[in-house]
Structure 1
């Protein structure tokens, strides 16, 4: 029924029965309607304001704090201890008065009484691994965490402070006004963790087996007290570090002096400001040569590193680094390091050249020589295309921890060749090679997300891991055609999507049940589908670049990302975010059946012929076909009459007359449309998995032609469970298949296929909507041209008119 008519009728009924209507409460429909397209604005997303706009861009009053650090630190190689002093300047750019500051003491996760240690659970009640036993033994003999020896203000007075697990509150003597700054100093020390025993993102690794050199690699991360973020959306970021949720920090400028044994080579965030004091003339010359080299150049050669391994230090050296506008600082130090580098050109007036650098022990060769630095260069090229030019002077890959970890300009990456225990020969598998390239792409990619686009990793892990895994997938596909890129391919996420042990992507990091699929694979796959299937590359790439550029060196939330992608692309994507990020539904669209309809012929005789042919094609009644005796009417002709002599499917005179009159009432255009002979294919789609998605339908016809129809997700807007969709063609269908390229992560491909031309069906012409009641016409009256007074419908009869 016409919606306007419904409203008018409803209003009229209400006017005639006002008292009854007021007496009855308003009743809601009990139909199982679910609006998969209702808007997230105002329901799940925070209200836009002057800090974060409805378009997803930073508002005109957007602010963020600034924290500058001057640090002097020393590595004691014998005791594996770091001792440091930091002078910290905190600039309050918020509109609020701050009475205290919160700092992150992430090394405190390694205290025996930390929340993380006390709440650790085990996967099995019946087994324990050797690695777990080693870790338990280590914690009996060793306890990590920061030891704070001094916390003083700029005048040298001790600042009252309270350590709360992995955080520390500094109580300011005077409130810090908006726009004001405060400076204070902290002195601390901590014993580094043994990386491979504790399973950490930092620490040391020593090569102490009988055939090894006894030297160590030292990785400094989360190694100094750092200011927690204070934001417009959360206030103080005071969620304790429990191990899974990584770090969100403020931007600032760093000057760091690292004192290490004088035979160590140091890699760190920022630019080395005293190369003459720590590098040889040959090393400085090689660095200059590497800037324009087309292949990586050894700054510290393998023979030089090997020679250093056999000597002992004779003193110490201090390496000084300067880094501006970074959110963290990390370093690595060892006498074992081979160091190679090459310059990477990029389209940027601000930073036309970036130095790609790798640091690794001999145990990582020959894998690292061949691919580490080149993988960095490739990552920069790819991410620049999707986001923005790399803004820093260098990007570094350091061999150290298992897996990988990222910091500004610094990444720690794990894969190494396999050493034969008998011969000492180094070999590697294809999986190890791909693992090295993939992890370097991923970790260098993190320099963009979240080291520059500064999302809150602890609250929304997918914002850095998922977005970065999506871009890693793009870079891996650009590395080589057969590269085993896994995370991001829709078909590979199906097993997780149908599993029971999962939570929505928009879940806080420490509560994720399956961390990898939830934080990495699922959001990455969602973005691949959004790019390739929903938006298309042109709209997606423009919107994604807008997001990256808008929030470069700023702190976005998920809502800023969602809103930017919609505003820039011009496509409402609330249904997509709800399904992929706010639910645990999966994709499973079934093709339940197909009918092949022909419009009932306009001519009564043709219509009757079609009916007779359809009836003749039907199988006879099984009961009738098995009856062998003559029927009663066959035995007694007297009971037979006119109706026994005709075919009940023949056209009657009345039907022929009605069809003729109907044809005469049609306009020429209506007559052409009424007499078309195309087939109306009607496809029944059922949403089994619950997640609404575009319907991609490949149609194969008997003439050998093929067509793929891409139906937008809005097909589900009135019924998210089941719909019928129509396709009209003169061709004859042979086969239909949903999602033929496996691009939507459809979980059950067994219900995606239909073979055959469809079930035949005659489509009756639906009756026209009846005209409104016309009592003037019904009573044979008419209206005078210049008056509303009724007149007889016909002229008065004359005297000679027949009676």
Structure 2
């Protein structure tokens, strides 16, 4: 087919010459392998992303007794810790986390924060500047070894070092006990934070969310040694798996929910509550209310003087949290996950109804099913959602928000916000409570992966669910930010300016793009599940995730990790020049017609056009003797020589060449520009003159030789009317105005309005339920 192809090579040959002249800086950087950025494989972590044959991790078992003082909002506790050194290293000391010290009056947290004075400031803003002189933070009463001897300790802000009398050898265990106390803070105040209490002024009761409440072992790992980076509020936790036996003493009229399984329900529940609880264990279609709203409202009116002790047991968890209040309504239902039943349940005050009674436990159940299908069957026996006007996660229990207005109506923002936060916080049981990444270092490894799965679960909850994070186009405003406001996803938790977009939304969007656009659902889902199953109840790093996703799919993703996780460039791809070509049929009549059209186009100009009217008669028109051969010569007629040359050409072609010559194909040579810097696949939709369309997809590797400009030729049977780049908004392109050919002008509307400002402190958000008068 040399003869035919020779007709098409001129433009491509010229482009090839241009390629040879490209500056070397224009290619290679974005497609370099990640190898130098990743830790070297070893006996603990393999090059495939799986745990190595000598992988190890530590273990810490706890026996805890704690008592809640509901009059003074404080706790006093004691714990016995058994620490197992499964590492190959002798340990001279142990590090313990004292997270409550982040709220101490001498905390580093307010000292790290910048602040300014505004012309108008509210009390909370001023308190942020002044911090506080409240008596907060952990008071360590004693630290003793198994024989009752004092252990030397050093407290450094939120970390406590236990100096061992002799090194703890590999394979050995060490027992010690700690007694402590602290005052619980008002988490609704300017101090904020995840744990604390909320005071309900109308009925004079408290709702406690007890987290980060006991001295917890820090992680000692093969990749970092001790993770003893100080807790200053944002970077969450790296924790050790272990078994827990916890006894919680509270006022007798309180309801307690906690990590683990209640061991003594007959001692702490009424006979009616116990019957309902047992019925809930075999109820799968809807929640059973174990303590009703009317029962909780009666308890709100008085305060018990006696106490009850609730006993919980939890196995193979990395943390323990609990909640307590006499205000609680409690409902529960069984959920079939794999071959076992899990109890999904919710605790909430009357202020959260009717929203919580209708949705919370159902959302818990849905989340367990959705996440289990994409990772592993949920291994724990319970999953709890607690309404506490915030959002935070712990093993088997999480604290969430979502209260309706006082009349019981609510906006759709409150409804879907509540459903989303419950999915998100329950989902954290999988990441990082089971796939136990280091949140202090890499927020995205739990928040980003969890937000991605949250997006999938939301879309399974309701069609057209208003997901805030996950769809690619919704990350575009963040990626359009000025460079000094951006950091790579692979940034330490404390050093991120736009925390939510960076650690939650961008990695979630990246994974969604991987699944839908780069890898495809089948390859992605298999690899993602493989990562979850490999690192269930273990401590993975980003290297393990990146390597597993490639190892299990045979898709080279180094360019993707480099761009999305190690870089800050946005996606901005544009359609540049579009040239339309047809194959030259070589038919004499077509050749002559083209020559005639070109001649007439070249010979048409303004003076000639105007003279058709202004010059009534030329000399040659007036005087026939002024004419000669060329006045009657047919310049563009087909000659016998032309016809013979065409027949000879046709006879020289093979069958395939003849088919292509007569195909009538249209060739569109399109130049694409990478204006943003982040390389991505090219998804091109062609709209044809007959009203039909189709989509072609080019892999990101098309940019490998020139990361800023590429040209591609497309052969089409139909004539193209217009072209759209990224038609389904799947690449997070920050500027869609340059994604069209021909260019489309998109008007931006401006609004005329009469000045009407809402009063300060009032909400302008719609609540159609309230306006309709229906609930």
* TM-score for both structures, normalised by structure 1: 0.84
Asked if the contact 2:30–2:679 (Cα under 8 Å) also holds between the matched residues in 1, the reply is no
Matched, 1:333 2:317: no
**Does the C-alpha gap of structure 1 residues 186 and 686 become closer, same or farther in structure 2, counting only changes over 3 Å?**
same
**Does the C-alpha gap of structure 1 residues 105 and 662 become closer, same or farther in structure 2, counting only changes over 3 Å?**
same
TM-superposed deviation, 1:633: 14
Asked if the contact 1:603–1:660 (Cα under 8 Å) also holds between the matched residues in 2, the reply is no
Matched, 1:270 2:254: no
The structure 1 residue matched to 2:573, chosen from 583, 589, 608, is 589
Matched, 1:476 2:468: no
**Does the C-alpha gap of structure 1 residues 232 and 667 become closer, same or farther in structure 2, counting only changes over 3 Å?**
same
2:729 is matched with which residue?
Answer: 742
Q: CA RMSD in A?
A: 3.0
**Does the C-alpha gap of structure 1 residues 41 and 522 become closer, same or farther in structure 2, counting only changes over 3 Å?**
closer
SS at match of 2:691: coil
Q: Distance in 2 between matches of 1:671 and 1:428?
A: 70
Asked if the contact 1:305–1:335 (Cα under 8 Å) also holds between the matched residues in 2, the reply is yes
Q: Distance in 2 between matches of 1:486 and 1:618?
A: 57
Asked if the contact 1:415–1:432 (Cα under 8 Å) also holds between the matched residues in 2, the reply is yes
TM-superposed deviation, 1:314: 2.1
Q: Distance in 2 between matches of 1:677 and 1:616?
A: 25
Asked if the contact 2:85–2:170 (Cα under 8 Å) also holds between the matched residues in 1, the reply is yes
CA distances 1:125-164 after superposition (whole Å, capped 9, x unpaired): 5443332345667x54413211111111122222222111
Matched, 1:157 2:139: no
Bigger RCO (CA 8 Å, 6+ sep)? 2
TM-superposed deviation, 1:184: 0.8
**Does the C-alpha gap of structure 1 residues 529 and 649 become closer, same or farther in structure 2, counting only changes over 3 Å?**
farther
1:22 is matched with which residue?
Answer: none
Which aligned pairs between 1:481-500 and structure 2 lie closer than 5 A? 481-500=463-482
Matched, 1:310 2:298: no
Matched, 1:450 2:398: no
Deviates more, 1:719-728 or 1:29-38: 29-38
CA distances 1:105-144 after superposition (whole Å, capped 9, x unpaired): 111111122221211223665443332345667x544132
TM-superposed deviation, 1:668: 4.6
1:703 is matched with which residue?
Answer: 690
Matched, 1:322 2:304: no
Asked if the contact 1:735–1:753 (Cα under 8 Å) also holds between the matched residues in 2, the reply is yes
1:599 is matched with which residue?
Answer: 583
Asked if the contact 1:36–1:575 (Cα under 8 Å) also holds between the matched residues in 2, the reply is no
**Does the C-alpha gap of structure 1 residues 650 and 60 become closer, same or farther in structure 2, counting only changes over 3 Å?**
farther
Matched, 1:44 2:37: yes
SS at match of 1:32: helix
Asked if the contact 1:272–1:320 (Cα under 8 Å) also holds between the matched residues in 2, the reply is yes
The structure 1 residue matched to 2:182, chosen from 181, 190, 206, is 190
TM-superposed deviation, 1:202: 0.4
SS at match of 2:275: helix
CA distances 1:504-534 after superposition (whole Å, capped 9, x unpaired): 1111111111011111111111111111122
CA distances 1:48-93 after superposition (whole Å, capped 9, x unpaired): 1221111111111111111111111111111211111111111111
SS at match of 1:584: coil
Asked if the contact 1:602–1:663 (Cα under 8 Å) also holds between the matched residues in 2, the reply is no
Q: Distance in 2 between matches of 1:720 and 1:334?
A: 59
The structure 1 residue matched to 2:488, chosen from 472, 488, 504, is 504
Gaps of 5+ in 1: 1-27, 420-424, 635-639, 757-803
Which aligned pairs between 1:528-567 and structure 2 lie closer than 5 A? 528-567=512-551
Matched, 1:356 2:357: no
1:721 is matched with which residue?
Answer: 708
1:120 is matched with which residue?
Answer: 113
1:171 is matched with which residue?
Answer: 163
2:123 is matched with which residue?
Answer: 130
Asked if the contact 2:30–2:563 (Cα under 8 Å) also holds between the matched residues in 1, the reply is no
Q: Distance in 1 between matches of 2:521 and 2:359?
A: 29
Asked if the contact 2:30–2:707 (Cα under 8 Å) also holds between the matched residues in 1, the reply is no
The structure 2 residue matched to 1:93, chosen from 83, 86, 94, is 86
TM-superposed deviation, 1:590: 0.9
1:244 is matched with which residue?
Answer: 234
2:410 is matched with which residue?
Answer: 428
Which aligned pairs between 1:28-107 and structure 2 lie closer than 5 A? 30-35=23-28, 37-107=30-100
Asked if the contact 2:444–2:507 (Cα under 8 Å) also holds between the matched residues in 1, the reply is yes
CA distances 1:658-713 after superposition (whole Å, capped 9, x unpaired): 98887676555445445653111112211111111111111111223211112222
**Does the C-alpha gap of structure 1 residues 448 and 607 become closer, same or farther in structure 2, counting only changes over 3 Å?**
same
TM-superposed deviation, 1:339: 0.8
Give 1 or 2 for the bigger CA radius of gyration.
Answer: 1
The structure 2 residue matched to 1:393, chosen from 360, 378, 381, is 381
Which aligned pairs between 1:649-798 and structure 2 lie closer than 5 A? 666-670=653-657, 672-673=659-660, 676-755=663-742
1:229 is matched with which residue?
Answer: 219
Matched, 1:526 2:510: yes
**Does the C-alpha gap of structure 1 residues 167 and 644 become closer, same or farther in structure 2, counting only changes over 3 Å?**
farther
How many residues align structurally? 717
